[in-house]
Amino acid sequence: MIAMVLTVLLINEDLEATMLKVEFAQERDFIRASASRDTVLVWDRPGLSIVFVPAGQRPPLPMPKVFQGLPGDYSAEMDMNGDTYLVSVDTDPTGTLYVAKNITHFEDRETLFGIAVILMALVIMAFSLLLAVLSSRRIVKPLKRLADDVSTIPAGRAMPRLESDYVDAELHSIVMTFNQFLGELESYVKRERSLLSLASHELRTPIAVMSGALDVLERRDQLNANDRETLRRVRRACDEMRDNVDILLKLARRESDGKEHELLDIVTVARQVIDDLGVGNPAGQRATLSATGPLHVKTDPVMARMLLRNLIQNAVQHTRGRVTVTITDDIRIEDEGMGLTSEQQAVLLGKSGASPDAVPLGGLGLYIVTLMSERLGWPLGIEQTDTHGTLIVLTPPRAAL
């Protein structure tokens, strides 16, 4: 639109200049043919001023105001007393011809024409904008409907399918492909739930068998003191294994445990975890505990123990230096390893797009830590991770005593 308006105005300006140039040429030729070669000609009227000075003659005094101070060869527009003049001064061997024509009416018409063109352009732009809005709404309406339909589909075992009554072939193809994707997703979810149920049964059965065997040994009461201590450790490990299986299955199913939270002393739990790691494992003896006092938290005790055990065990397994667990108002686990990679940090902090499958060195353990910290509501952060070691901070909410 801007190009069109500028083109029209330029063409109009060129047309006006060409017309005035032709008229000026005709008037100059007529005046030179009819003027006397010995007499100065002066013609001064409101619309036209002409002065012809033959060669060798002096200009008249006074000269018309429009010609005063002009050089021998001059051609331009001039504004004077609110009027516009087209002035031309032409010198040849016969003399000097001064011509000034009042073109105010041309300029006024040109201004009106320019205003009319601009108004017409604005009207066309407004009409085009209206058509663009209406047509874009018509085009976007089915897309918006499709987006709304997709956003209202609930995630679950049986997800409703999208209506395929779209006129556009492209949208119809998108809907059919999306419905096919929903079917594949439902099949995947059903297979996953079936595997989880199967795993739940297959994991709990041997644990129940081991617990039964331990019950039989305790009822026989034929063990010496050392064997009884070993039996208690096996019993505790078996109970922890059962609780861990329950926690892992609930995390995988994203189910709520439904249990009442208990008041737990984090210092006692951490000391027990470190003691268990040190039994029969020299690497576990590199972990030390430092606490300024008890830290009581009302939480799920099984998941809290599992979270601390995973963090401390990962730190012990992946560093040959010391591992220090410091408990004050928060839980700080510091090692002397080589630090975490960016992928491991992304998994541990639960960043979107992070995949535990692509993370070496216990990626699944880090992923489980992330899930448990989110479920417990314990913010997890990494204060330091470089070649000098890693410092992980857990901030459990302190229980009101």
Interatomic CA distance for residues 69 and 78, integer angstroms = 13
Average pLDDT over residues 276-299: 81
By the 8 A CB rule, do 324 and 290 touch? yes
Examine the pLDDT at 401 and tell me if it is beyond 60.
no
Give the chain's mean pLDDT.
81
By the 8 A CB rule, do 31 and 41 touch? yes
**Percent of the chain whose predicted confidence (pLDDT) is above 70:** 90
> Which pLDDT score, from 0 to 100, does residue 254 have?
61
By the 8 A CB rule, do 78 and 59 touch? no
Question: What is the token pair recorded at 224?
Answer: 């010496």
State the pTM of this model: 0.49
Examine the pLDDT at 362 and tell me if it is beyond 50.
no
Interatomic CA distance for residues 319 and 313, integer angstroms = 10
> Which pLDDT score, from 0 to 100, does residue 363 have?
46
Query: Could you read off the pLDDT of 217-266 as tens digits, one per residue?
Result: 888 888 888 888 888 888 888 887 887 777 777 776 665 555 667 888 89
Examine the pLDDT at 361 and tell me if it is beyond 50.
no
What residues form DSSP beta bridges with 78? 85
DSSP state, 162? P
Query: Could you read off the pLDDT of 311-344 as tens digits, one per residue?
Result: 888 888 878 888 899 999 889 999 888 888 887 7
> Which pLDDT score, from 0 to 100, does residue 129 have?
93
Interatomic CA distance for residues 269 and 260, integer angstroms = 18
Q: Which amino acid is at 334?
A: E
| Angle in degrees, CA 378, 379, 384, rounded to 5 | 130
Average pLDDT over residues 122-129: 92
Coil/strand/helix, residue 71 = coil
Examine the pLDDT at 131 and tell me if it is beyond 90.
yes
Interatomic CA distance for residues 334 and 287, integer angstroms = 10
Average pLDDT over residues 97-126: 85
> Which pLDDT score, from 0 to 100, does residue 92 have?
81
The alpha carbon of 121 is separated from its chain's Cα centroid by a whole number of angstroms, namely 37
Residue 130: pLDDT band with limits 50, 70, 90: very high
Interatomic CA distance for residues 21 and 113, integer angstroms = 21
Average pLDDT over residues 11-40: 76
> Which pLDDT score, from 0 to 100, does residue 283 have?
66
| CATH assignment, 259-394 | 3.30.565.10
Examine the pLDDT at 126 and tell me if it is beyond 90.
yes
Examine the pLDDT at 360 and tell me if it is beyond 60.
no
Coil/strand/helix, residue 326 = strand
> Which pLDDT score, from 0 to 100, does residue 326 have?
92
Q: Decide yes or no: CATH 1.10.287 for domain 155-255.
A: yes
Q: Which amino acid is at 65?
A: K
Residue from 280, 307, 322, 276 nearest 395 by CA: 307
Interatomic CA distance for residues 64 and 51, integer angstroms = 8
Residue 399: pLDDT band with limits 50, 70, 90: low
Question: What is the token pair recorded at 364?
Answer: 């699944």
What are the start-end ranges of the E strands in 25-178?
A: 41-44, 48-54, 74-80, 83-92, 95-102
CB atoms within 10 A of CB 175: 19
Interatomic CA distance for residues 282 and 227, integer angstroms = 22
Average pLDDT over residues 44-52: 83
Query: Could you read off the pLDDT of 163-189 as tens digits, one per residue?
Result: 888 888 888 888 899 888 888 888 887
Residues 6+ apart with CB under 8 A from 139: none
Interatomic CA distance for residues 182 and 191, integer angstroms = 14
Query: Could you read off the pLDDT of 135-151 as tens digits, one per residue?
Result: 988 888 888 888 888 88
DSSP state string for 202-265: HHHHHHHHHHHHHHHHHHHT---HHHHHHHHHHHHHHHHHHHHHHHHHHHHHT----PPPEEEE
Q: How many residues does the chain have?
A: 401
